Amino acid sequence: MRGSMTSERRAASELHSRLRGGEFVVTAEITPPVSTDPAEFLRRALPLKGLAAAVNVTDGAGAKVHLSSLAAAHFLVQSGIEPIFQMTCRDRNRLALQGDLLGAAALGIHNILVLAGDDPKAGDQPEAKPVFDVDSRGLIAMAHGMRRDGKLPSGTAIEGRFNVVIGAADMPVDPEPGWEPKGLAAKVAAGADFVQTQFCMDLGVVRRYAARLLECGIKVPMLIGVAPIPSARSARWMREKLYGTRIPDETIERLDKAADPKREGRQICVEVLRGLVEISGVAGAHVMAPMNFAEIPAAIAESGVLGKRRR
């Protein structure tokens, strides 16, 4: 089973082009502030210019309100940074989702990452009603149908260019004998062009996970989630609170013993980035650090992985 990133389709973005070209691709992620002023957001994002192939803009991360991901992604475009517009199924019905897809294309935003979205009960306004008119697989299929047919699901023609690059999310697992990646396979079949994963700082798990995906015929570009973790306490919190996160005990021990845990966390991230380049079936990395944004460009730059050819 292959993704929809076929050679016949023209590259829709720089990210799309790099993923096709065999380069080890690094993306990053920034959370918009609770603000009407984009200055703070851009201060976080601008150091990534020229380092990250594209920058994700989160959509109501943690089921909490932030500056609109669509607006924030547009500010990145204006600043010369290619965005990945995250879209959750939690907050909008299919009409609003289709409207935002058209709006993104109109604003020069061509990469999207489709997510289900955190349950509102986990946020700071737990009385909010979730929508979930479609699930993540359904939204992927909807966006893919719109670009393939040039029409809305209703049959109404889309005027203008609509050629989005569709991302899906997954969680690396240490596959047991007979394990099948059914959920990921369904997303790829629905039209996903690339995948970004939850945090996985365990290169052994990544190696076995990627090998199993290749055995199952899934050859969609995989960007593995990594982080410059600032402390052992943060690492333990991530393992306990962020579902699917994989951080080895050895990593936590290193952070515990380090004289400068923040610097050690960056070094560990650098080592993981360098290790990912050597793993067949891995197209790149997705660097996230929700409360530690300044470490993202530092880790990418120190790793020396930019421009490397992947296996």
For 142-185, the pLDDT digits (tens) are 999 999 999 999 999 999 999 999 999 999 999 999 999 999 99
CA distance 284 to 301: 14
Structure confidence at residue 2 (pLDDT): 46
Residue 8: the pLDDT is: 55
Comparing CA positions, the residue from 245, 246, 184 lying closest to residue 220 is: 184
CA distances from 30 to 17, 47, 233, 272, 296 (A): 22, 11, 22, 20, 10
**pLDDT number for residue 191:** 98
Q: Is the pLDDT of residue 207 over 60?
A: yes
Residue 162 inside a domain? The answer is: yes
Q: How does pLDDT run across 179-197, given as a tens digit for each residue?
A: 999 999 999 999 999 999 9
Is the whole-model pTM more than 0.85? yes
Q: Are 270 and 302 in contact (CB under 8 A)?
A: yes
Average pLDDT over residues 77-100: 98
Tokens found for residue 114 = 């489709």
Please, what is the end-to-end C-alpha distance for the chain in angstroms? 19
**Per the domain annotation, does 58 fall within a domain?**
yes
- pLDDT tens readout for residues 5-40: 544 578 899 999 999 999 999 999 999 999 999 999
CATH number at residue 207: 3.20.20.220
Q: How many domains does the chain have?
A: 1
**146: in domain:** yes
Domain that holds residue 97: 14-227+281-291
Average pLDDT over residues 227-247: 96
Sign (positive or negative) of CA dihedral 276, 224, 56, 105: positive
Three-state secondary structure string covering the chain: CCCCCCCCCCCCCHHHHHHHHCECEEEEEECCCCCCCCHHHHHHHHHHCCCCCEEEECCCHHHCCCCCHHHHHHHHHHCCCCEEEEEECCCCCHHHHHHHHHHHHHCCCCEEEEECCCCHHHCCCCCCCCCCCCCHHHHHHHHHHHHHHCECCCCCECCCCCCCEEEEEECCCCCCCCCCCHHHHHHHHHCCCEEEEEEECCHHHHHHHHHHHHHCCCCCCEEEEECCCCCHHHHHHHHHHCCCCECCHHHHHHHHHCCCHHHHHHHHHHHHHHHHHCCCCCCEEEECCCCCCCHHHHHHHHHCCCCCECC
What confidence score (pLDDT) does residue 11 get? 86
Q: Can you give the pLDDT at residue 133?
A: 98
Residue 124 lies in a domain: yes
Q: Is residue 105 part of a domain?
A: yes
Mean pLDDT of the chain, nearest integer: 95
pLDDT of residue 10: 80
Residue 123 lies in a domain: yes
Q: Is residue 143 part of a domain?
A: yes
273: in domain:
no
